[in-house]
Amino acid sequence: MERNAQLSEYIIQGYQYLGLSVKNDGAIFAITAVTLLMCLAWLSFRLVRIALTGRLTRLVFNSKNKIDDELHEHGVFRRIAHIVPAMVIYLCSSMLVEDPILYSALQKIAVIYMLIAAVAASSALLNTVEDIYNASELAKRAPVTGFIQVGKLFVVIVAGLLIISSLLDKSPLLLLSGLGAVTAILLLLFKDTILGFVAGIQIAANRMVNTGDWVELPKYGADGTVLQVGLTTVKVQNWDKTISTVPTYSLITDSMKNWRGMSESAGRRIKRSIYIDVNSIKFCDQEMLDDFRKIRYINQYIEKKRAELDAYNQEQKIDIQDLLNSRRLTNIGTLRAYLVSYLRHHPSVNQDMTLMVRQLPPTELGLPLEIYCFSANKDWIAYEGIQGDIFDHALAMLPVFGLRAYQRISDRPH
């Protein structure tokens, strides 16, 4: 307190030099002390800001390390500078202020200011960690945004408890013990947060969803790319560029389709049917077979099948003119063989994945002839172009094989 007395004497002597009589417990002395304290705090803040935005900034920009660039970009250094004036007020108030009430108020203001600055700096630091993580390879395995938000929430809660304890002059442990009485209310208030946190752990552990995945959530009308997996919400940018926001816990409680497997595979599936008019299906005659032999993709197939069928008919002593008992090729079977060969020679179809042309059970719309293969190019626009080219060709080849695609005709007069 001796230093206190000396500082008080300096202020009193200064006023005496100006011809004023001031006591150390008067209002003028208190105003002067507070003003001097604020000036010291402001001066310390300016000096720290100059140091952090001057020399330190040049060091950051000249450094090859990217971490300090991220810290500077998110304003971590700038926010840390606010802690210094709070410390000046907290430490110097005992040297300038003698009024216990004013001293207590300044101490509380300094603590609150320091905690708010610490929360702001911690938030910027966590944002930096999030950006660095998202730029790394680890981000492809599990999202971290939810955990970052939990960290921010924890910092805010701790700072809030400390601020309240400082204002009430109570121990933080006493406040924590009092929270047990309102547990039900807290659970109700933080229900989404708790569910989101638990869901985030399961999502990260099981690698269910990550930023950049294409997901479908029919219940919420979301169909697009995941922009962010947060603590309580997930943002999905739909293909029409709208943004859908869904609860995080819905990813594990509701039906969801994730197309990541397709994106990471070697191809994108093409699975579509052409409905063949059953009235156009028939056996191939000699003229048709002669025409089919001119088609490059199936000329060897025709020769092989004809030899196979001739051998069978001879073995069974069946005259080839016996239409009821002899085995013959059909136009629909020959078309299937042609489409398989066509796909085998298609440069944009992945030949290492499943490839087939099959018949599905007939319906009232005709006989579905399904093409099942995988496009080597998974880009949406390129994929649709490849799929369109394949079915353009398949539809155009139907008349060559004497087949027709089913098309419902209206009975109403035109």
- CA-CA distance, 339 to 292, in Å (whole number)? 13
Spans of the chain below 50 pLDDT:
1-6, 414
- Which residues are within 8 A (CB) of 225 and not within 5 positions of it... i.e. 6 or more apart? 212, 213, 214, 236, 237
**In this structure, how many other beta carbons lie within 10 angstroms of the beta carbon of residue 91?**
11
Q: According to the model, what pLDDT value does residue 10 have? A: 57
Q: According to the model, what pLDDT value does residue 347 have? A: 94
Domain architecture of the chain: domains with CATH:
1-170 (no CATH), 214-264 (2.30.30), 268-401 (no CATH)
Q: Which residue has the tokens 């930023």?
A: 211
Integer CA distances (angstroms), 231 to 123, 158, 178, 337, 406, in order: 15, 18, 27, 54, 52
Q: According to the model, what pLDDT value does residue 186 have? A: 67
Q: According to the model, what pLDDT value does residue 368 have? A: 96
Does this model's pTM top 0.75? My answer is no
Q: Residues 396, 397, 403, CA angle at the centre, nearest 5°? A: 105
Q: According to the model, what pLDDT value does residue 15 have? A: 59
Q: pLDDT tens for residues 226-275?
A: 988 888 889 999 989 999 999 988 888 888 888 888 877 889 999 999 99
Q: According to the model, what pLDDT value does residue 325 have? A: 62
- CA-CA distance, 204 to 230, in Å (whole number)? 12
